[in-house]
Amino acid sequence: MTEHEFVCAVKLNNQRIFLIALSFTHNQTDAEDVMQNVFLKLWRYNKSFEDIPHIDKWLTRVCVNESKNYIKSPFRKRSVPLEDAKEKYSFDYECDYDLFKAVMSLPKKQSAVIHLFYYEDLSVKEIADVLKINESAVKTRLHRARTQLKQLLGDEWNNE
C-alpha cells in the first residue's frame, strides 16, 4: 500500500471506524485508541487490496477484533460521557444524536450489531462472520436491541 492509498483510506474511513469502536467501548478515548491501532495495522499490512470495498471490509473486521481485545484489556480506562462524541462529530438533527445516544446505551453486544447492521450495512451473515457467532445469535441480538430502542425512544420512533 502506498502512502497516498493509506492517507485516502484513513480519510475515507476514520469516522466510520471510530463509530464502530465506540459501539464496543462506549468511551471516546478508548475508541480513538482502537482506531489508531486499526490504522497502524493497515499501515503495516503488506498485502494489496482488490478494491476500496475490500479495504472497507478489512478495516471493519480489524476494528471489531481490536475493539473486542481492547475492552478485555486490564488497562482499559474509565468511561467518559457520550456528550464528548457529540462535540467531536456533528449530527444533522438533534433526533440523530438522540438515536445515537440510545444505541450507545444498549448493552455492548446489542449496540455493536445495531451499528454494524444499520450504519455499516453489513448483512446478518457478514456480522456473524465478523463477530464469530452464528447467524441466529445476530438475529436475536438485533431483535432485542430493536425492542429496547423502541422502549427508549418512545412513540415518535415506532413508525420508523
What is the model's pLDDT at position 155? Answer: 63
Looking at the fold, whether 74 and 114 belong to one and the same domain comes out as no
For residue 78, the model assigns a pLDDT of 47
CB 62 within 8 A of CB 36: no
Whether residue 65 is found in the same domain as residue 102 = no
**CA distances, 16 to each of 11, 32, 113, 139, 151 (Å):** 10, 12, 14, 23, 26
| Per-residue pLDDT, 115 | 86
pLDDT of residue 125: 94
Do 96 and 68 lie in one domain? The reply is: no
CATH of the domain at 103: 1.10.10.10
Q: What is the CATH number of the domain that holds 85?
A: 1.10.1740
Residue 84 and residue 119 in one domain? no
59, 89, 119 - which closes a domain: 89
Which pLDDT score is estimated for 145?
93
Indicate if 43 and 102 belong to the same structural domain.
Answer: no
Residues 58 and 77 in one domain: yes
Regarding whether 75 and 32 lie in a shared domain, the answer is yes
Same domain, 80 and 141: no
- Domain boundary pick from 89, 116, 145: 89
Q: Give yes or no: residues 103 and 84 share one domain.
A: no
Do residue 111 and residue 51 come from a single domain?
no
**Is 39:83 a contact under the CB 8 Å cutoff?**
no
Residue that finishes a domain, picked among 64, 89, 114: 89
Query: Quick one: angle between helices 52-72 and 3-25, nearest 10?
Result: 40
Please tell me the total count of domains within the chain: 2
**Over its length of 160 residues, how does the chain's per-residue pLDDT go in tens digits?**
788 889 999 999 999 999 999 988 888 889 999 999 999 999 999 888 888 889 999 999 999 999 999 888 765 544 445 555 555 555 666 667 777 778 888 888 898 899 889 888 889 999 999 888 999 999 999 999 999 988 888 766 555 5
Same domain membership, residue 66 and residue 97: no
pTM: 0.61
- 72 and 50 share a domain? yes
Predicted pLDDT at 74: 63
- Residue 77: domain span: 1-89
- Tally of CB atoms within 10 A around 107: 12
Instruction: Please tell me the predicted confidence (pLDDT) of residue 77.
Output: 47
Question: So what's the pLDDT on residue 44?
Answer: 92
